[in-house]
Structure 1
Amino acid sequence: MENGFFDKVEDNAAVRIWAETQQEKGDSLTEGYVSELWDFTRVSVTQNNLQEMKKIWGQWDNEIKRLFYCHYGDLPYLLDVKIDELLFRALVQYWNSAYSCFTFGKVDLVPTIEEYTALIRCPKIQVDRIYSKTANGPAFSKRLMNITGMSKQWVTARIKQKGGCRYIPWRNLRDLILAHPDKKKSVDVFALSIYGLVIFPKALRHIDEAVSDLFNRLGKGTTPVPAILAETFKSLNACRRVGEGRFIGCA
């Protein structure tokens, strides 16, 4: 315990030295760079309708809810977060893509891993096990079979393709949650739906293939927080770069 404490002290000292160096020598951007934020960005924050998910959660008894909290933390609270669209659109105007932060005059603010970890608050997460997509992971259908506990025929019949991406419709998962005889599998599918519809809402009312890959690792203690943070930065940068777009991420 004592050694662990001193390790953290050394880490903090290294961060302080780095910060002092940055103040003396400046940042890593091109010399003469000026941060310009006056361009207007037309951003859409269209969300999935979450009423059906709220209804399912409200119908569950305390036993199932405790099972959910044990494995997936405080995700259900995201269902009740009300997004102020006008405020969000105004906030995007201050996103500084060069520094990946919000710039308000001389003040910079940025969402952090610590804040996102506190928001999700899941006891199963191991902060040192960061998610990264493997080159030769299991197929989409295989992952869905593992998550849902359903047969290959059931899964493949419900996978849809839009453009170059594959999805499974929320309505199919909703029906499965309501009818599944295994409570743990119902909880798993409900959690997958939150990740697909609230945290990574790429296609409205559909759960993206990429989400299933991340979700399939959560049982091993992998933390999704850096992926959530990276998707937030990626989406904000994309909207600012083209001057418009739909924000894709956990608003």
Structure 2
Amino acid sequence: MVSETNDQAERHRLIVLGASNVAKSLDVLLRVAPRMISKPLEVYAAIGRGRSYGTQSQFLFRRLPGILESELWPTLESRANSAKTSCVITDIGNDLLYSRTVDQIIAWLEQCIIRLRLTAGPIAITGIPLAGIRTLAPYKFRTLRSLMFPGSTLELTTVQQRAEELNVRVQALAQDDDITFIPQNPEWYGFDPIHWKPRKRPEVWHTILASLGHSSFDYTRVRSTFMHEIKHWMTRPHQRTLFGLKQSKQQPVIQRGEQLTVALY
């Protein structure tokens, strides 16, 4: 019989912090990661459309706590730290549209990094999709702002300036040996300047996980469709408020045999 300690030592944890891009491509991630990371694999994800790193956010009729305020962190503290861990930080530009300053966003990211370092795992952090933001038409920006961030009154020029500064500051954070900075490839984006193209999502996740030292494979065989995008739309995180009602759900909420579990926060 394998002891509990040895069983835990064989496990791998993948911790993902992000917003819409991760929520939209979660099913793709769950098909790419097990091909690259040794199993059993435990995924811990603090994600969600419109998610903020530091404050409560709302998307349609659903509200989520800030990533730093979520139950992800007490959960990680309660787990034995013998599992090999990899960490991903992405979708860091959302808070710009919530009128947060670059200094505030960097302070939140630094707090996430401090907490992730307790897992002793390498960290990958993605940059801002500057190519699309630099050339974004004003009408497209106003449409995106009204749909995704209806309370925002920021002008496009302000967002562009702050996005440039934030990208530079994040690169500076990634000077540490345990952090890998991943620039956003302009080819990952199309008409929508902030969300990865569906057909590019397997490539994005393969790039991120490969940067953390995980095995490569032929990701072109992985498909991403609209059905994959909405597959986990109704999957409930640990805490949320829906139509004004607070809800909680025991995690992990996704389990595929004994090889893959997913906890959402």
**What is the TM-score when the length of structure 1 is the normalising length?**
0.25
- Structure 1 or 2: more strand by fraction: 2
What's the TM-score once normalised by structure 2's chain length? 0.25
Greater fraction of residues in helix: 1
Larger Rg: 1
